[in-house]
Amino acid sequence: MLPGLAHAQIALGDIQLDVVSDGSLNLPGGFIFDPMPQTELLPILKDLGQSADVLTPPCNVTLMRHGDRVVLFDVGSGPDFTPTAGDLLASLEALTVTPDDVTDVVFTHAHPDHLWGLLDDFGDPLFTRASYMIGQAEWDYWINPNTVDEIGEARASFAVGAKRRLEMIEDGTTFFNDGDEILPGVAARASFGHTPGHMAFEVRRGGEAVMILGDCIGNDHIAFARPEWHSGSDQDPETAAATRLSLMDQLSHEKTRVIGYHLTGNGVGYVDKTSAGYAFVKEG
């Protein structure tokens, strides 16, 4: 691999998953922490070694290869969102994968760091041979012309950018709902709250599974330590908290391996139940 391009590989029978880096984000701590009880929050962050002021989460994109399919789960930020991200093409190149090789693109949700990599430097679709898949509820939300006025000023640019990009791929897009098998061995899992139609994906072969989380568990510190707390990064904080709690319970009980888009390192690990809450156990 090229320096700095996080990489992990998981084999599930004849399915190969690679986790590649789109870079990272640089966010103010308040983006997540502002709604939380500060007197309880700060000691937890200190114990976990996480700054309350700055967040620098990685952006981990999952590539799946199965038979003649080359599938991307989300496409990163592209050139227009933040200078610290947009590394996906270089990461794919290190695996000798080009945009023309990609047969399918599956979206967890339509926030900029997951969707805006859809276009190249000239504003044209990058994955010219791919078919696209997105949850029906997520599509309906972002394509709605009223969303830009209802989402709030801080996220208005998200709505404008999402609608423009999704309209460009509408003819090549199919929609799915909770529980649908969208590809052989891949089932959609409703994980609403971070966005109205956010989806995770369970990739399964036999008795072994990996859950591609997207942002329904959005960080490796406070989301695990206090999953019930509302996060400023979630569009519907109450629903997102309920989603986290349900998923944490399932994933820790079943010992399912996870890939988290913003979880530390390459995002691969397990959810462990602790006496106080949960913890992310990084693999590798």
Q: What's residue 276's pLDDT?
A: 85
> Can you tell me the mean pLDDT for 45-58?
96
Q: Are 109 and 160 in contact (CB under 8 A)?
A: no
Q: What's residue 93's pLDDT?
A: 95
> Can you tell me the mean pLDDT for 139-158?
97
pTM above 0.85, yes or no: yes
> Can you tell me the mean pLDDT for 42-66?
97
| Alpha-carbon span 94 to 88, nearest angstrom | 10
Q: What's residue 4's pLDDT?
A: 46
Residue range 78-96, pLDDT digits in tens: 988 999 999 999 999 999 9
In whole numbers, what is the pLDDT of the chain averaged over residues?
A: 95
> pLDDT grade, residue 6 (50/70/90)?
low
> pLDDT grade, residue 157 (50/70/90)?
very high
Q: Are 165 and 116 in contact (CB under 8 A)?
A: yes
Q: Which amino acid is at 110?
A: A
> pLDDT grade, residue 2 (50/70/90)?
very low
Residue 159 DSSP label = H
As a three-state string, the secondary structure of 33-52 is HCCCCHHHHHHHHHHHCCCC
> Can you tell me the mean pLDDT for 223-252?
98
> pLDDT grade, residue 128 (50/70/90)?
very high
* 235 pLDDT higher than 70: yes
> Can you tell me the mean pLDDT for 56-65?
97
> Can you tell me the mean pLDDT for 34-60?
96
In CATH, which superfamily holds the domain spanning 7-282? Ribonuclease Z/Hydroxyacylglutathione hydrolase-like (3.60.15.10)
Q: What's residue 79's pLDDT?
A: 87
| Alpha-carbon span 56 to 84, nearest angstrom | 9
Domain ranges for the chain, please list them. 7-282
pLDDT cut 90: percent of the chain above it: 92
pLDDT cut 70: percent of the chain above it: 98
* 1 pLDDT higher than 50: no
Q: What is the DSSP string of 180-217?
A: -EEETTEEEEE-TTSSTT-EEEEEEETTEEEEEEETSS
Query: Which range has the worst mean pLDDT, 1-10, 25-34, 70-79, 188-197?
Result: 1-10
> Ramachandran region of residue 44, left (φ > 0), alpha (ψ -120 to 50) or beta?
alpha
Helix axes 136-143, 156-168, angle to 10 degrees: 110
| Alpha-carbon span 249 to 282, nearest angstrom | 18
